């Protein structure tokens, strides 16, 4: 009998972890509904813009936490063992595998409820989930 050792690949630098870092940085992993909504918004944005998720999540135009001046930028470096971050990873894996539905009603834009960007002043938001407002 021949035995083959199957090693789990190191996915710490993989797409689910990269998506999860953006999701965690913006949401803090406050709740599963917020994490699912934010993650599905990334998928919606990718579909609408035609950009691959890998490229999209590196664009500070869409995700302000990529800017070191953002108040939540420090969350990008969350420990991979953090339980809230792990929830974000699992949700990102579901999204990437096509197992996460649209949890944000087609939204492609967002902002924190404590600020109102200029672009949002003339629009109505379609969802308010744990202090993040989502827009189409």
Q: Is residue 46 part of a domain?
A: yes
Q: Is residue 45 part of a domain?
A: yes
What is the pLDDT, as a whole number, of residue 6?
56
Q: Is residue 36 part of a domain?
A: yes
Q: Is residue 50 part of a domain?
A: yes
Torsion of CA 48, 135, 113, 128, to 10 degrees: -110
Distance of CA 71 to the CA centre of its chain: 17
What is the pLDDT, as a whole number, of residue 10?
47
What is the pLDDT, as a whole number, of residue 7?
56
What is the pLDDT, as a whole number, of residue 8?
52
Torsion of CA 23, 118, 130, 30, to 10 degrees: 30
pTM of the model: 0.87
Segment-wise mean pLDDT, segments of 10 residues, the chain, 136 residues = 60 81 97 98 97 96 95 95 97 96 95 91 92 94
What is the pLDDT, as a whole number, of residue 12?
43
**Domains contained in the chain, number:** 1
What is the pLDDT, as a whole number, of residue 43?
98
Provide the edge-to-edge strand list for the sheet that holds 132-135.
Answer: 109-112, 132-135, 127-129
What is the pLDDT, as a whole number, of residue 84?
98
Position of tokens 């919606």? 44
Q: Which domain holds residue 60?
A: 15-104
């Amino acid at each position: 009998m021949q035995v083959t050792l199957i090693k789990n690949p190191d996915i710490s630098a993989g797409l689910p972890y990269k998506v999860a870092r953006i999701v965690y940085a913006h949401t803090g992993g406050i709740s599963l509904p917020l994490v699912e909504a934010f993650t599905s918004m990334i998928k919606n944005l990718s579909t609408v813009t035609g950009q691959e998720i890998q490229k999209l999540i590196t664009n500070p135009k869409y995700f302000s936490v990529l800017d070191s001046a953002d108040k939540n930028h420090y969350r990008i470096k969350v420990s991979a063992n953090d339980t809230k971050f792990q929830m974000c990873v699992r949700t990102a894996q579901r999204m990437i595998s096509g197992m996460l539905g649209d949890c944000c009603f087609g939204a492609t834009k967002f902002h924190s409820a404590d600020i109102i960007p200029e672009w949002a002043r003339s629009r109505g938001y379609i969802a308010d989930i744990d202090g993040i407002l989502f827009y189409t």
